[in-house]
Amino acid sequence: MSATLADVAAKAGVSRQTVSNAINTPRIVHPATLQRVMAAVDELGYAPNLHARRLRTSSARTIGIRLERHDDGIHGVLLDRFLHAVTEQAAGLDRHVLVFTADDADAEVAQIRSLSQRSLADAFVLTSTDHRDRRIDALAEAGIPFVAFGRPWDDGSAPHSWVDVDGRAGTREATDACLATGERVAFLGWPDGSGAGDERRGGWRDAMADAGLPADLDRAVEDDPAQAQAAAAELLAAGATSIVCASDTLALGAIGALSRADASVPVVGFDDTGVAAGLGFSSIDQNLGAVAAAVLELLHGEPAHRLVTPRLHRRANPRWGLPAQQSAAADGKDAS
């Protein structure tokens, strides 16, 4: 059906091997021959059969990634963006991405083993790592190349490559930016104990300490807009001049509190999801493109790690939560 190496060789009047060289190592074939071969390739619309190549070279050049189930929204959006970035950049490195699903960590390891052994994928990316992640030891022991997106939150796991976002740097930058509009920068985060959440709170504390200010306006709730709204209301009542949040979900709640209080102070979210764009508040972009690049870089080679610096995506101000009359003014054709 599709043209093969032999067809091209026949058409160009050379051996199959020369065609192979022309494609894989063009610089070792005579320019004139090369041109003739390439012309034949174009004419026949030839593209190599990758199964044959992979069988021969026993390399899949394919990255396996588990698709997580995410009924929660934001988490899913982030992983989706990350997956997109990995896939896009992998293509530039002549690599493909195969996805799979698994119900739990053990099933994921089983899938990875299977894909690896059947040589469908030869490198893997682990997402949503947690304390004492079983997957890490299992894969390290099996000698399967992988990179974790997420730092090892405990020291017990086997040495491995990982990439993570420097949440501390993110909230620090956001806090510094907020200090321009007032000293009473509040933090709205999650209860202690979640690694990422603690990091984010730490960045706010650091920035306040560096500015010689007390880090006293601090509230912790679950990642839920209703709880966040209540907590934010208290922070406003306590005189907050801005609110740095550990997630866009919390920021959404804070915006709600602003709305009810007819207040207007800057709110900064985390993750820069569609909610932040839609409501127009600033948010910290995890910089998943950079994460993806780092992951691909570490996929082959000795265990190493990278901490990616997120970026504050500044937006003017909440457009929502303002009195309806003002909002109505935006009812025109200015939606972008």
Count the Cβ atoms, other than its own, within 10 Å of residue 89: 17
271 binds, among its own copies, DNA, none (CB under 5 to 8 A by kind): none
| Smallest distance from DNA to CB 91, Å | 18
Q: Which is nearer to its own copies, 155 or 331 (CB)?
A: 331
Alpha-helical segments (H) within 161-273 = 167-179, 195-210, 225-237, 248-261
Q: Does 155 contact its own copies by CB under 8 A? A: no
| Smallest distance from its own copies to CB 76, Å | 5
**Site track for DNA across 26-65, x = CB under 7 A:** --xxx-xxx-----------x-xx--xx-xxxx-------
Give me the residues paired with residue 123 across strands: 63
Tokens representing 131 are: 């304390």
335 binds, among DNA, its own copies, none (CB under 5 to 8 A by kind): its own copies
DSSP letter at 79? Answer: H
Query: Could you tell me if 146 and 161 are in contact, meaning their C-beta atoms sit under 8 angstroms apart?
Result: yes
Q: Which is nearer to DNA, 48 or 202 (CB)?
A: 48
Backbone angles phi, psi at 241, to 5 degrees: -100, -5
Query: Coil, helix or strand for 218?
Result: strand
| Smallest distance from its own copies to CB 260, Å | 6
Dist. CA 297–CA 316, nearest whole Å? 36
Number of separate helices (H) and strands (E) present in the chain: 14, 12
How many residues at the interface with DNA, by CB under 7 A? 28
323 binds, among its own copies, DNA, none (CB under 5 to 8 A by kind): its own copies
Binding site for DNA (CB under 7 A): 4-6, 13-18, 20-21, 23-24, 28-30, 32-34, 46, 48-49, 52-53, 55-58
